[in-house]
Amino acid sequence: MERDAEGRYRRISGSAVHVISFCDPVSFSDALEKARQKLAAPHGATLVVVADGAEWIWNIVSDRFKEAFSIIDFWHAADRLHDLCEFALGKGDAAQALFKEWRKKMKVYGVDCVIRHFEGMEGSRRKLKGVAKRLAYFKRYRGQMQYRRFRREGWPIGSGAVEGACKSLIKQRTNLSGQRWSPDGALDVLWARALITDGLHDEYWKEKRSREGKRREPVFAA
């Protein structure tokens, strides 16, 4: 990504590489590293990872991308906040109003103010225990929910680009009525779609034909 004239980040054209795989986290981690190498990011470039709260994702980040700035997708965090508000006040208008208030504050100031507010709530022992249980998630990922800082830096705080790719690149092709796929068959089709989306389709086949042509060249021994 690069900053535009107004200081906002935008994706550089042709800079995306999609990674599609049906594999274990270790293999997927290796595929992500290869994708980063394809992008040829300059030395010292800032690496930002935006993802939901799945533990296996953050295990990959801590293993391979320790230098990255990690960000919990804001809307995923907002879902957790909504659950917390409904537990604190019960379902209804009051909980919805509380959620909207603190969702805005979390986006503007970061998660610390949310933690302080709900830690100071009064209620029964059972209620406070339930609040503390839900707050544990926000405390665990406190560093990844400093949205004020992230927005000030101009970094994305939502994984909308990934979610959009999952819908347009994958779901629109493999989730049509009456379709049945084997993992290998689906992966082949999606892999080709990813090459087209990334503008690498023609280049890939050109290189593949070149490699195959070299393998067919006869070798003579004296």
pLDDT tens string 50-88: 998 888 999 999 888 888 899 999 999 999 999 999 999
Q: 187 in a domain, yes or no? A: no
Mean pLDDT value across the chain = 84
Strand duo 48-51 + 69-72: pairing: parallel
DSSP of 136-201: HHHHHTGGGG-HHHHHHHT-----HHHHHHIIIIIIHHHS-TT----HHHHHHHHHHHHHHHTT-H
Domain that holds residue 105: 74-152
Which residue shows structure tokens 């926000």?
138
How many domains does the chain divide into?
1
Q: Is residue 136 situated within a structural domain? A: yes
| pLDDT bracket for residue 97 (50, 70, 90) | very high
Establish if 1 belongs to a structural domain. no
Given a cut of 60, is residue 221 above it in pLDDT? no
Q: Are 2 and 12 in contact (CB under 8 A)?
A: yes
The mean pLDDT value for 193-216 works out to 72
Tell me: pLDDT of 38 over 80.
no
Within a domain: 130: yes
Q: How confident is the model at residue 13, as a pLDDT?
A: 65
In angstroms, the CA 37 to CA 130 distance is 45
